[in-house]
Amino acid sequence: MEILTAAALIPVAAAAAVLAWRRRAKPPRADTAILEEILAATHRWNGIRDLPELARAIAASVGDILGFGHTILYLWSDDSKSFEARALNGDPRTVPEPAPLGWDGFQALERSCERIGAGYRCPEGVLAGVGGPGWLWPLRPVSGDVVGLLALHRPRNRSLTRSTVIRHLDFLARQATSALESVGVLEALARRNEEVTEATRQLRGLADLKKNLVANVGHELRTPLTSISAYTEMLQRNLTSLDPGSLEDFLQVIAAESDKLSRVIDDILDLGR
């Protein structure tokens, strides 16, 4: 009788094991909805080509999907050598204007906060300007250099477990980093195109300047040479018949035009130095 009872329990135990496996393999309905929102958000990010617009979209999506009252996106600036707040999702009246965060300040936060996943859980008072604890998630590309930070405060969705938030934040941070890198490459290409266009415009201007210079120099050289040539030819033909006064006039014209030609040549040599 006991053997039969144990045998009868085997299918029940197997069914329970399969049900438990299915529950582990398939995320809860709420988690599935969050994943769908994340995929939709990252798809939108990849279609944005403007950095300020992308920064606002990232801050808004991360905060809204994971239920944080305030989300701040910091991006590294080579000019200021600090992380600058580029987008804020939430009521700005309840949070002071975020100040830039230098590299030393970021390293201090790393030491003060608890490492979780790819980010940090910071205790109350560590993140300046925001009351209560907060989450800090670095945006780190494959190169390893941190290009931005996601600071999240005041969680509103209490139904999400800590492990769920960490898992989703890790994924969102990777996708945000990829989208920001893509926009950065496109902006760099746009700047290079502008530089090439400007260089081409300057080269065209130099070509026009060269043409004008050659034309003006040719005119300045040709004018005295023409006078010298004409008066010299007249002297050769009429040297015996010219009176001393006319001969003196011809020679003065030739001398004056020679001086003018010499000054033009000097100016050209000065221009080439």
What are the distances in angstroms from CA 223 to CA 81, 183, 214, 241?
Answer: 61, 59, 14, 27
Q: Which residues of 204-218 are buried (b: 16+ CB within 10 A; e: fewer)?
A: eeeeeeeeeeeeeee
User: How far is it, in rounded angstroms, from Cα 52 to Cα 73?
Assistant: 11
pLDDT reading at 193 higher than 50: yes
State pLDDT tens for residues 157-174.
Answer: 666 778 888 888 999 999
Q: Please report which confidence band the pLDDT of residue 16 belongs to, taking 50, 70 and 90 as the band edges.
A: low
Residue 182: other Cβ atoms inside 10 A: 15
User: How far is it, in rounded angstroms, from Cα 119 to Cα 102?
Assistant: 18
Q: 3-class DSSP state for residue 1?
A: coil
State pLDDT tens for residues 253-271.
Answer: 888 888 888 888 887 788 7
State pLDDT tens for residues 19-46.
Answer: 554 445 445 546 788 888 988 999 999 8
State pLDDT tens for residues 46-99.
Answer: 899 999 999 999 999 998 898 888 889 999 998 999 999 999 888 766 666 778
3-state secondary structure 112-162: HCEEECCEEEECCCCCCCCCCCEEEEEECCCCCCCCEEEEEEEECCCCCCH
Best CA proximity match to 133, nearest among 200, 69, 49, 207: 69
